Structure 1
Amino acid sequence: MRLTQSITNIIFGLLLLIRLPSYGQRAKELQRFQLAQVQQGVAVDASYFYVVNNHSLTKHLKSSGKQVAVWQDTTGLLKHMNSGVVIGKKLYCTHSNYPDVPMASSLEIFDTRTLRHIGTHSFGLFPGSVTWADFHQGHWWVAFANYSDKASAEGRDNRWTTLVKFTKSWQQVEAWTFPPVVLQAFLPKSTSGGAWGKGGFIYCTGHDKPELYVLKLPERGYTLQYVKTIPTTSEGQAFAIDRSIRSKQVLYGITRHDNYVIVSVID
């Protein structure tokens, strides 16, 4: 059993050397802001962007990067916030107990005007750690990650990563696995960011690589369909698509090692 898993990991590791095709598209950098701390991801609305860290949030002017508000968890109840998405006047942040097992997750809700914590939705124990969520066509779309370097007690690796569709009242409707070629690119981690973009495509990132993977729902079956890879300046981790700009697709991403938020446009 252990030998089989080791061989599988070696094969996946070799496949990491294979770069997925980009088909000529790339994310062109427009602007960057160096901040005091950028750990997990970024969310955005018409006037501000929001940096998501493990236990804190900061709010910044899009025009200058100036910080205008901060929130810090003082309860010790939040362990690992992963990403954020702005819906209306609310900022929804995914949260998990990563790297602990069994995996447990929640969605934490904040007022964008004040960054005050105003609500929570618990997923409880789920077969994966929630890393990103988006609201699209009246439903929640939530990614639950599994990892090959920190497999759960049940022996799951990143092939167990799944995208789940929920109603507004959090009833599960459908779920999909990720394409093997994208899971190989994620290795040894999993998906860290994701959002619905233009053309009815799902855009997602891994943990480290400066790449954006474009997926779509399959016509049949249970596996998301791989479309293409778009090279980016920002690393993996959680990103945001600026939906206040309709004429083009503007992306907010991060680089953790030097604490930058990077604004790009997908050409």
Structure 2
Amino acid sequence: MAATLLALALALSPAVEQKRMAAEDARQGVVSDGRHLFAIDNATIAKLDPRAGSVLSRWSGDPALFRHMNSCIALKARLVCAASNYPKTPMASSVEWFDTRSMKHVASRSLGPGRGSLTWLDWHDGSWWACFANYDGKGGDAGRDHRSTTIVQYDSRFVEQGAWLLPDSVLERMAPYSSSGGVWGRDGYLYVTGHDRPELYVLKLPEAGSELLHVGTMAIPTNGQAIAWDPNEPRLLWSIERSTRSIVASRVPPVDEQAAARR
């Protein structure tokens, strides 16, 4: 059954690269607020001119406090970032807020230890959606591996509303790592990346149960890590190529609704 699901997933049309630029800080992810790009590293965020690729300003934090910034989203005049203490255990996580104009750190909320390492966070349909990654070996809590990766829905005050596991057909592509990026699309699908494969996994909520449904998989030009939609151009997705420290924009084709219905 898993092989059949994976075969259907691979039938999705690939994303097409539109633009690529160098960015020294592009180690964990990238996000766009519609005016600027922000390249994310463990304890730094660079604000970039999206046309020239030049650095306009850079926030640098204390590595003892900001050990592992994983990803950010742009929400109004703020960057909201998912952070963790990776590779320390027990795994603990926090949400960090930054002002996009001044590039100052303005707020923090500790989520503490619990489900895993917070790798991405999105605001969708009046809720926070968070991925808590688990890994095989280094950086993983005892008794857990990549199969324990969990997507959690919170209300606006971070009170848990629900939680789901990833399907086996996605987990087997991520092993021994986990999900590094995730964003909800305007089409109602959740788009998720792993750690190193050049693939985008399209998921949706189930009618019942606690496991997300795997709608399809599409090839993308970059190898996993954090992703973000462009707020001005529909279906333009920003991602990074860690090996070359590059930021890449790709056009993501619409999901085939007939293929999705067969799930």
Q: Deviations over 1:65-112 (max 9, x none)?
A: 121110001362110110010011100111101111100000110001
Q: Deviations over 1:130-159 (max 9, x none)?
A: 000000011100000001233644310111
Partner of 2:91 in structure 1?
103
Question: d(CA) in 2 for partners of 1:153 and 1:93?
Answer: 22
State whether residues 95 and 106 of structure 1, in contact with CA within 8 Å, keep that contact through their aligned partners in structure 2: yes
1:263 to 240, 249, 254: 249
Q: Compared with structure 1, are the counterparts of its residues 151 and 157 closer, same or farther at alpha carbon in structure 2 (3 Å cutoff)?
A: farther
Partner of 1:6 in structure 2?
none
Partner of 2:112 in structure 1?
124
SS of 1:198's equivalent?
A: coil
Q: 31-40 or 128-137: which moved more?
A: 31-40
Query: What code does the residue aligned with 1:50 have?
Result: F
Q: Compared with structure 1, are the counterparts of its residues 96 and 19 closer, same or farther at alpha carbon in structure 2 (3 Å cutoff)?
A: farther
Query: What code does the residue aligned with 1:106 have?
Result: S
Q: Does 1:229 align with 2:221?
A: no
The structural deviation recorded for 1:127 is 1.8
Q: Does 1:212 align with 2:226?
A: no
1:93 to 60, 81, 86: 81
TM norm structure 2: 0.91
Question: d(CA) in 2 for partners of 1:157 and 1:40?
Answer: 21
SS of 1:200's equivalent?
A: coil
State whether residues 194 and 238 of structure 1, in contact with CA within 8 Å, keep that contact through their aligned partners in structure 2: yes
The structural deviation recorded for 1:19 is 7.3
Query: What code does the residue aligned with 1:81 have?
Result: M
TM norm structure 1: 0.89
Question: d(CA) in 2 for partners of 1:153 and 1:20?
Answer: 33
Q: Structure 1: give runs of 5+ residues left out of the alignment.
A: 1-14
Q: Compared with structure 1, are the counterparts of its residues 152 and 259 closer, same or farther at alpha carbon in structure 2 (3 Å cutoff)?
A: closer
Q: Does 1:197 align with 2:185?
A: yes
The root-mean-square deviation of aligned C-alpha atoms, in Å, is: 1.5
2:15 to 10, 27, 45: 27
Q: Compared with structure 1, are the counterparts of its residues 26 and 156 closer, same or farther at alpha carbon in structure 2 (3 Å cutoff)?
A: same
State whether residues 43 and 68 of structure 2, in contact with CA within 8 Å, keep that contact through their aligned partners in structure 1: yes
The structural deviation recorded for 1:22 is 2.7
SS of 2:56's equivalent?
A: strand
